[in-house]
Amino acid sequence: MQQHYPSSTREVTATLKAHGISPTRQRVELGRLILSRPQHLTADALYDMARARNAPVSRATVYNTLRLFSGQGLLNEVVIDANAKYFDSNLQPHQHLFNTTTGELTDLDSNKLLVTGIPKLPRNAHIEGIDIVIRYSDAAEH
Amino acid sequence: MQQHYPSSTREVTATLKAHGISPTRQRVELGRLILSRPQHLTADALYDMARARNAPVSRATVYNTLRLFSGQGLLNEVVIDANAKYFDSNLQPHQHLFNTTTGELTDLDSNKLLVTGIPKLPRNAHIEGIDIVIRYSDAAEH
DNA sequence: GTCCTTGCAAAGTCTTTGCAACGTG
DNA sequence: CACGTTGCAAAGACTTTGCAAGGAC
């Protein structure tokens, strides 16, 4: 199932409504910034982005909106390390490639990676997800 | 290669020295608590543990010591989600099983899980590690 | 004695919250 | 108008740091 990334005001408004979120000006602005393509943003990066586009929004609203979007299934939270909490607009199952030298985070298609040997879990256990992060550095180790 | 988990004062002292860490009373106490077996502890849990054993150590020292131990390769940091930063005394390659209902975090043997399909990285890229967390819940979804 | 370590308290960072003003229907 | 939302500033959780007192060798 392909994912759609809404970019226009109208599209974002419709997406928010479809997820039970009332489309205020700030939410639509933030939605256009983060939902329009697969990407990973921190709260701070989104805040800066909004200001840069002359669509200033308070930090509180950025945090509240990200929390709301995640709760309503519009974003996933990705924790790459203790100091980097990203919100990911790509909702397809996928994995991450993290360049520890540059901090660059890229997506890997789910169907390219295969994990085998997952142990049996208790009968009532329900797997919610498998998070995979491949970390690599650019610098050669000497 | 099997890993040894030092538990006596003497063993921990030797381990610290072997890693270039001067074995002060606080460090040896904390080392005995966290290095003696494979486990995952947060800074706060270690702090509480030390107090419970009548080996009180300040929070600053707990944080500084955990940072030092990690930097010297005695511990790994594991981030399971945005609100849970653990220090893991198991240095063998392994993966994590995280029960989202109870918060329980268990280790999986590296050789049971197999990941295939890792894409080619640039020539000078060096894979530092592959972090895998399988999240599951106890509750049945109705 | 010299240098490193500790513990306290203060400062920092990131995130959430209380609340009055504001907007939307 | 009623209700939800925003923005500010304050509060919170967690972690780091400055510095004087204390400890290791």
> Could you please report the per-residue DSSP string of B90-115?
--SSEEEEEETTT--EEEEEGGG-EE
Residue of B nearest to A140 (CA): B124
User: Residue A62: which residues within 8 A CB-CB, separation 6 or more?
Assistant: A30, A43, A46, A47, A50
* pLDDT band with cut points at 50, 70 and 90 for residue B142: very low
Please give the pLDDT value at position B56: 85
Average pLDDT over residues B133-142: 75
Specify whether A35 is located in the same domain as A60: yes
> CB of A80 within 8 Å of any CB in chain B?
yes
Look at residue A80 in the predicted model and tell me its pLDDT: 85
Look at chain B and report how many structural domains it folds into.
Answer: 2
Is A75 or B120 the better-scoring residue by pLDDT? A75
CA-to-CA distance for B40 and A138, rounded, in angstroms? 29
Residue A136: alpha-carbon gap to chain centroid: 20
Same domain for B55 and B110, yes or no, is no
Mean local confidence (pLDDT), A123-140: 84
Question: Which whole-number Å values give the CA distances from A24 to A46, A48, A70, in the listed order?
Answer: 17, 19, 17
- Is there a contact between A126 and B140 if contact means CB atoms under 8 Å apart? yes
Is the CB of residue A31 inside 7 Å of nucleic acid strand D? no
A71 and A14 both lie in a single domain:
yes
Residue A10 tokens read as: 């109208």
Residue B141 predicted with pLDDT over 60: no
The residue to which tokens 């002292």 are assigned: B13
Classify burial at A132, counting beta carbons within 10 Å of its beta carbon; exposed 0-12, middle 13-18, buried 19 or more.
Answer: buried
Residue A76's Cβ-side half-sphere holds a number of Cα atoms within 13 Å equal to 17
Please check whether residues B70 and B102 belong to one and the same domain. no
A35 confidence band (pLDDT: 50, 70, 90): very high
Q: What is the pLDDT of residue A54?
A: 85
Do B18 and B59 fall within a single domain? yes
Decide: helix, strand or coil at residue A123.
coil
Contacts of A139 in chain B (CB under 8 A): 124, 126
Q: Select from A33, A27, A99 the least CA-distant residue to B128.
A: A99
> For residue A83, what pLDDT is reported?
78
- Asked if B52 contacts B21 with a C-beta cutoff of 8 angstroms, the reply is no
Most confident of A107-111, B117-121, B134-138: B134-138
The model's pTM: 0.88
The domain in which residue A57 lies consists of 9-87
Burial profile A89-114: b = 16 or more Cβ within 10 angstroms, e = fewer = bbeeebbbbbbbeeeebeebeeeebe
A24 touches strand D (CB under 7 A): yes
pLDDT digits (tens, 9 = 90+) for B9-50: 999 999 999 999 999 999 999 999 999 999 999 999 999 999
In this structure, is residue B1 part of a structural domain?
no
Give exposure, B54-77, as e/b (b: 16+ Cβ within 10 Å).
eeebeeebbeebbebbeeeebbbe
User: Which comes out higher in pLDDT, residue B104 or B111?
Assistant: B104
The tens digit of pLDDT for each residue in B52-109 reads 998 889 999 999 999 999 999 999 999 887 778 899 999 998 899 988 877 788 898 7
Residues of chain A contacting residue B141, judged by C-beta atoms under 8 Å apart: 126
**Does B13 share its domain with B62?**
yes
| A142 has pLDDT over 60 | no
One domain for residues A106 and A45: no
**The residue type at B125:** A
Which of B87, B102, B120 is a domain's end point?
B87
Range A68-72 average pLDDT: 94
Residue A140's pLDDT is what?
Answer: 57
Contact A110, A93 (CB under 8 A): yes
Using a CB–CB cutoff of 8 Å, tell me whether A77 touches chain B: yes
pLDDT band with cut points at 50, 70 and 90 for residue B140:
low
Task: Count CB atoms within 10 A of the CB of residue B94.
Answer: 18
Residue A39's domain is classified under what CATH number?
1.10.10.10
Which amino acid belongs to residue A5? Y
pLDDT tens figures, A85-123? 899 999 998 899 988 877 788 898 777 777 888 878 878
pLDDT (0 to 100) of residue B109: 76
> What does the pLDDT average to over A38-51?
94
Q: What is the mean pLDDT of residues A27-32?
A: 96
Co-location of B52 and B14 in the same domain: yes
In a domain, B47, yes or no: yes
Q: Is A117 left (phi over 0), alpha (psi -120 to 50) or beta?
A: left
Closest residue of chain A to B81, computed from CA coordinates: A79
